[in-house]
Structure formats: structure tokens, C-alpha cells
A and B are shown apart, each in its own frame.
Chain A
Amino acid sequence: MSLLSIQNLKLSIHGTPILKGVSLDVAQGEIVAITGESGSGKSLTAFSVMQLLPRGTGTTGSIQLDGTELLNASDAAMCDLRGNDIGMVFQEPMTALNPLMTIGDQVMETILLHTSATRDEARIKAEETLTRVGLSPEKFKLSRFPHELSGGQRQRVVIAMAIALRPRLLIADEPTTALDVTTQAQILDLLKDLVQDFGMGLLMITHDLAVVSDMADRIVVMRHGDVVETGETSTLFSNMQHDYTRALFAASSHEVDLPDNTRPDDALLVVKDAVRDYPKPRTQLFAPREYTRAVNGISFTLKKGERIGLVGESGCGKSTLTRAILGLEPLQGGSITAFGEEVAPDMPAALRAGLQVVFQDPYGSFNPRHKVARIVTEPFHLLPDPPKGKDRQNRISEALIAVGLRPSDADKYIHAFSGGQRQRIAIARALIIRPELIIFDEAVSALDVSIRAQILDLIAALTQSHDLSYLFISHDLSVVRTITDRVLVMKDGQIVEDGPTEHVFSHPKHPYTASLIAAAPTLPDVKGPINVPT
């Protein structure tokens, strides 16, 4: 008999059906991954098991843990099970811990709540558990607060809280999505080990097929609240039955058709020995200020027509470098020139017009009270003589058509668009002023794989039609590999490797590059072409 058995689970929120009959099983010692795009209902399935659902949720069907029915169990009964028989790990380690409580107290709380252990016994048990997840008490005292730990370390604390009492079932909701690749690899290894050691069942939710293929024994593919396909990982990947699974797989390993770069090599952007310091908080009132060097002597040249990728883990300085290149913050040393002129916070508007940017968050980077026409035409204020009337209309239509939207979309507000469409609008906003160079700052990181594939295709097509050069900043190596022809690898404020993308990926010279590539989860090779439904 399986450990967890979900049968025909239907869930609606305020009458809107979200899950339409989900069935799946998790056996003891088995890792089952639910995958699918946003809105597929994968997280709600996990939260149904915990019975931690938003208000106004109605559920029918059955969720059984070792034969005990969980669905519509009393909250008191569920409180006994949560943390004791079922542990849960969440997506966002930065906010999953109480900022005012020490990590020791937070791990001990699970133990004290469910057992009759004294505080001293609980402390010993918490130390053991934290050691097990890789935070030995010698280095990470129990009296530390969450803000004194990195994201990966915090995720270990969350895992320690979830496994302290060796639950029979562990649920992990996108446990590594917010983490860097090397940290992700470590956390995934830890989870795998724990499942083996404790014989737990692990129900893992992730959108990342590559992670799934590395981790799971069995896969459940969900779409719009339905399970579309389920099976053993190896058989499922080699013999995909459902069109949607195939489409998802194809989108995850999507490679764009990047046109060759055959242009003369005028330098568009020259970064020379750039240095960017941030003041540290003062430790003494009258002592001289200390500085953190976020960008430490970086030099590279982006020539016309080049598509350069910039990769590195969080904290490596890539965002700082981006802001300096955009002329938003001053340099403390070296220089950045674009189109032959110095880039600085006080640079002329005409220079800014040649240099546009597309940001990561398709939800936060627009004013919700403006119509698309106004959003898209924002860069026009950089022009001495912005187009007016009919000319302006034409430019808006042209930009919207170029990114695959309709000219009539100009009169709508931003909330009428999906995440992918918003990212198209962001690209239209960058394109409308016909810049020579666009900076894509994690521009596809927040998108679902199928949408991401479409946006990447759009960017590739635009390089040809609009004569674009770009700097593509991302933590996602597979994306950078397909969308750029040269790549810079950044670590601790310095560029440790610079070369043609394919060459760097197949023959990394610097050990850091090699470790990044090794840590990145990869999709299995599937023999034969995948038939992608259109």
C-alpha cells in the first residue's frame, strides 16, 4: 500500500474549479515529482495534503496517509500530523523563517510541540538535526538569527524543521527555485540522501524538468488542474505519451535559431577596468568608511552585432555592473563608454536612447494606471523631437507588431495581459526608440518554459529584423547557451572567463565555470526527434 494516496481530488476556490480530479500515489522511500507550468495546480495539490488551503476553498475526493483520511480532517487532528508525520519545505527560504526567532528555537519548536522532550533534550535533538542537514553547531550556533544566514543555509534550517521528527512524508514545494545552481545541487543532494536514510516519501513540486529528471523516481505532469501524464521517470522521458509533456520537454530544452553575426566590428560598449564600491555600514562613528567592492576591475568590449551573455551567482556583482552600464550609478574607477561617449548618471538623454533595458519582473515594472500606449512610448522623452500624432501611432503599432502583439492592444491597461505578454510589452518599450543595444536583465527568468521559449525566439528574430546587439544577464546557463554567441562568467566582482559561448560550455577553462556547468541540472537525452504539437 502506498504511503500517500490522492484519489480524484477536486478543489475549487470561491466556486472556481482549480483541481479537476487529481490522483497520485507516493510510496515509502519514493520521490514523486509534480511538474507543470504556473496555474497547473501543482502547489495547491501539495497544500491540500497539508490541509493548509486559502479561505473559501472547497475540496472533494480523498487524500490518505497510510490509510488515514486527511481531507476535511479537523484542524486539531491535522496539527498533530503536520510536522510530525508530514514535513514541508517551501520555495522562498528568505521569508520562510521567523526573523525574530533564533534558528535553534525554530527547530526546537517542532520537537517541543509534538514530543514530551524537555528543552535540553530538544536542544540536543535540534543540534543533531541541524548537523544532519549540514549546519554543524560549531559553525552555526543555535543562537543565530535567520538574517545571519545565506539563502541556502536558511533552506537547510527549513529542511531541519521539517525532518526533525523523521516524518513519513516530506513535501517540498519548489525547494530550490530561489537558489543558485551550485546551492541548488547541494540541497537536492541533501533531500535525496534524507529520503534514502529515513525511508521517507518525498512529494516534490517543481516547474524545472531538468531538476525532475535528476531527482524523481516517478513524475506527475499537471496542466490546468488535471494530471495529463504519470509514470516512471526513465520510461516517461523515453516514451512521452501526451502532447503537453512533449511540448513542455521541448520548451525546456528549447534552442533558438540565432542568426549568424556577420557585421563589421564597431565597438558599441567598452567597459574598461570598471570598479564599483558600496559603503559598508559604519562600525565606528569617526573611523573612515569601509567599502565593499562589488565590481572589481571589469573590462570587456561589446561589438556591434554581438550577443553577449553574463552569468554568475547571486552576489557576484552582475546587477551592480548592469546599473553602472545603464549609467544609473557612478563608477569609482575605470570607465564605461557606449557609442564612443562616457556613460555616467549625468549623461545626455540621446545617449540613453541608444541603450535600453528589459527587466525581470513582468508584473512590477509597469505603472498599472497607464495604458500600454503610454508605457511603450516612455522612452520618447529621451528624444529632442519625439514623434507626434499619426507618426507616434505608427511607431506604437510597429513596436507592438514587432513583439507579436496587436496595435489595438495599445489602448488596454497592463492588467489585461499575461506574464509573457507583459514581457513582450517590455521589449516593445525598449525597441520603440530603435536602440542599438539592449540589456536583458534576467528577462526570461520569471516566465514559464513554454512562454520563455517564445520570448527567446522573439529575441532571436529581433536581432535580425532590428539590427540588435545585446547583453543578456542570467543565472540560467541553458538559456544563455542558446541565446548568446559570447559569454562572460562573473564571480566575486570579476570576470573569470570570457569566450565564445559554445566553447566555454564545452571546454570551460576556469574551475568556477566548470563547477557551475556541472551543478546545473540537465535534461536526459531523448533519442529521436520530439514531435512538438503546434
Chain B
Amino acid sequence: MLRYSLKRLLSLVISLIIASLVIFLVIEVAPGDPASFMLGINAQEDTLNALREELGLNQSKFERYVSWSKGMLLGDFGTSYTYRTPVAQMVADRLWVSLPLALYALALSTIIAFPAGIYAASRRGGAGDVSIMGATQLGVAIPNFWFAMMLVLVFAINLRWFSAGGFPGWEEGFFNGIKALTLPAIALALPQAAILARVMRSSLLDILNEDFIRTARAKGLSRRQALWRHALRNALIPVLTIIGLQFSFLLAGSIIIEQVFYLPGLGRLVFQSISQRDLIVVESVVMLLVFAVIVVNFIVDLAYAWVDPRLRSRS
């Protein structure tokens, strides 16, 4: 298990190095001058030169990569050109909204999807299965921004249980923070839960057809016991894969939901900095997201090994 973890860790480090190279190359070395891109076509020559100096564009590409990646490692992401504040600070502020939101949504989606998927699989073909599968069809089909707007209409405007948007900050107390994130988390979680429930159901049904389930039944386990004791853990592998993918998506892909609820999250930061051509912020946030995805994959890999002894012993 230790060897397996170390191997996965090594592959994590290699992935990070490759990813940083690709991002650096695409944004800084690609044809065209980053400075003139950031300032637009009407920029003055001396402003351009000043920016080039500030960005270090006069140095060699290798030196730039080394100082950029060194800065990343030490937590110095540079200074935003538009806002004139350290990028690290901006990202950290946004992360305190996006990360809890993603975790909240993921928790909700898992809490909904597991029971729904397990119930549907155990009642295969029955009324419960049909209605749950019908509901997941809807869940996948409904656009989440529309669903978010409905949530705002019902729970914020009519019932006045939640505010319609914005984020008070964690200084206002944990409960208030969570309360502000609840509607967005539900809007994000529902389509994910629908997908996850379907994966859970089909994975369980596959496993329930396996020979060892029949063996378990022949031992005297009831259908239910066979499902909980033998099928569920075997069915987790594909489910874990989907959970990993969903977390990565939730962390960065919630731009629309952040817009609907006016949340200061990472998605909006990327969106704003792209429209303001603030390459320094874009570069840093993209790198951070890549880092998050790779770390999540690492955790998913460890979870595989925890579930499956064959993976543990192969390495």
C-alpha cells in the first residue's frame, strides 16, 4: 500500500511539472507579445515597455519559467495587472468561497445519489426504480442556471428563507456562510446527483449479476444482505471515478451558478480576468485548478487501492 501510494505521489509530481510547462508555454511563449495582448492594440510604446519590464519579458524563456514556477511553489503568484494586488491574496479569498461550495455540493450530491442509486438497483424494474430513473433524467436535462433561478424565486423571493445572492464572508459566522452557499450548492448538486445516481445504479446492477453474488446467496444471505455486504463495495470503483471528475468540475465549472447567485468565486475570477486580459491571474488560477484536479485524482487513486486489494498487491 505504501509503495502504491509513493508511486501515485511520484506520478502526481511528474504530472504537475508537465502541466506547469504546458500552461507556461501556451500563455507566455505562444506567438504574440503578452504585454501588447494585455494592453490592447492602442497601447503606447513606453507603457508596453514598462509592462514588459514588469512581467520580466526581457529575460530568457528558461529564466522566466524558473522564476515563475519558483514563485508558484513559494506562494508568490505575482501581482495582478488590473487590480494591482497580489494574485495569491485574490485567489485565496475566492478559494474560501469556491472550495466550501464545491465540497458542500459534492456532499449533497453524494448524499442524494447513493441512497437513490442503491434503492433503484435493489428495486430493479419496480415502480421505485422507474420513478427514480425518471427523476434523474429530468435532473440531467434541466439546465442548472434555470434551476438556480427557480430556487431563488421559491426560497428567496417567495418564502424568504435564504437571501437571493451574495456572500457575507465567513467573518459573519459559519452558519451564515453555509446559509448563503446552500441554494447555490443545491443548484450545483442536483444534476451531479442525477448522474451519480445513474452510475451507482448501473454499477450495482452489473455487480449483482456477478457469480460471487450468487455464491453469497447460496450461503444464505438475503438479497438485501448480499447487496450491502458484497455488491456495494465492488460497485464503488466507477462511482469514485465519477466523484473525482465531479469535484474538479465543481471547483472551477460553477461560473454560471456563481453569476446567478453573485458569489465571489474562482469561476468568476477566471471569467473577469480573461475579459480584462489579466494574463497573470489567468495563469495562476489555471495552474491552481490543474493542481486541484491532479490532487483529487491522487486521492481517487488512493481510494481505489483502499477499496480493491488487487491494486494494493500489484505494485
Contact = CB atoms under 8 A, between A and B. Distances in A.
A98 B219 contact: no
Contacts of B222: 75-76, 79
A347 interface: no
A100 B233 contact: yes
A81 B217 CA distance: 11
Nearest to A80: B220
A95 B234 CA distance: 13
B45 interface: no
A145 B215 contact: no
Given A75-B223, A80-B220, A147 B214 contact: no
B218 A87 contact: yes
Interface string B25-64: 0000000000000000000000000000000000000000
B220 A281 contact: no
Interface residues of B, number: 26
Contacts of A281: 314-315
Contacts of B216: 98, 109
Contact of B217 (A52, A92, A95): A52
B215 A158 contact: yes
Interface string A49-70: 0101000000000000000000
B103 interface: no
B230 interface: yes
B314 A100 contact: no
Given A147-B309, A148-B313, A98 B234 contact: yes
B6 to A, nearest CB: 9
B308 interface: yes
B219 A99 contact: no
A113 B221 CA distance: 8
A97 B309 contact: no
A401 interface: no
Contacts of B220: 79-84, 110, 113-114
Contact of B307 (A92, A100, A109): A100
Contacts of B308: 99-100
A100 B216 CA distance: 13
B130 to A, nearest CB: 16
B171 interface: no
B269 to A, nearest CB: 39
Interface string A97-131: 11111000000011001100000000000000000
B217 A98 contact: no
Interface residues of A, number: 33
A90 B211 contact: yes
B313 A90 contact: no
A161 interface: yes
A81 B220 CA distance: 7
A113 B229 CA distance: 12
Nearest to B219: A83
A88 interface: yes
Interface string B199-242: 00000000000111011111111110000011001100000000
Contacts of B84: none
B309 A90 contact: no
Nearest to B215: A96
Contacts of A82: 217-220
Given A75-B223, A79-B221, A83-B220, A145 B214 contact: no
A98 B309 contact: no
Contacts of B233: 100
Contact of A90 (B215, B221, B230, B234): B215
Contacts of B211: 90, 92, 95-96
Contacts of A87: 218
Interface string A22-55: 0000000000000000000000000000101000
Contact of B215 (A84, A97, A113): A97
Nearest to A107: B219
Q: Is the interface of B mostly helix, strand, loop or mixed?
A: helix
- Among B7, B220, B221, B314, chain A packs the most CB atoms within 10 A around the CB of B220
A18 B302 CA distance: 48
A99 B310 contact: yes
A88 B314 CA distance: 31
B212 A83 contact: no
B204 to A, nearest CB: 14
Contacts of A88: 215, 218
A78 to B, nearest CB: 8
A293 B130 CA distance: 54
Nearest to B230: A98
A456 to B, nearest CB: 31
Contacts of B315: 281
- Among A97, A99, A114, A162, chain B packs the most CB atoms within 10 A around the CB of A99
Contacts of B218: 50, 52, 82-83, 87-88, 90, 162
A194 B306 CA distance: 37
A87 B214 CA distance: 12
Nearest to A93: B211
Interface string B170-187: 000000000000000000
A76 B211 CA distance: 21
A92 B211 CA distance: 8
A383 to B, nearest CB: 43
B219 A100 contact: no
Nearest to A86: B218
Contacts of B313: 145, 147-148
Contacts of A75: 222-223
A161 B309 contact: no
B186 to A, nearest CB: 34
Nearest to A47: B214
Nearest to B218: A88
Contacts of A95: 210-212
B79 to A, nearest CB: 40
B225 to A, nearest CB: 8
B219 A97 contact: no
A88 B308 CA distance: 26
Contacts of B215: 88, 90, 96-98, 158, 161
A113 B222 CA distance: 10
A109 B230 CA distance: 11
B314 A99 contact: no
A79 B219 CA distance: 8
A101 B230 contact: yes
Given A96-B211, A98-B212, A99-B234, A145 B219 contact: no
- Among A97, A100, A148, chain B packs the most CB atoms within 10 A around the CB of A100
A83 B226 CA distance: 13
B212 A145 contact: no
A76 B210 CA distance: 22
Contacts of B230: 98, 101
8 contacts: A88-B215, A95-B212, A98-B215, A99-B308, A110-B219, A113-B220, A145-B313, A285-B7
Given A90-B218, A147-B310, 10 more contacts: A82-B218, A82-B220, A88-B215, A88-B218, A90-B211, A95-B210, A97-B212, A98-B216, A100-B307, A100-B309
Per CB-CB distance, the 10 closest pairs between chain A and chain B, nearest first, are A83-B220, A83-B219, A95-B211, A88-B218, A82-B220, A145-B309, A98-B212, A110-B219, A96-B215, A79-B220
Interface of B: 7, 10, 210-212, 214-223, 229-230, 233-234, 307-310, 313-315
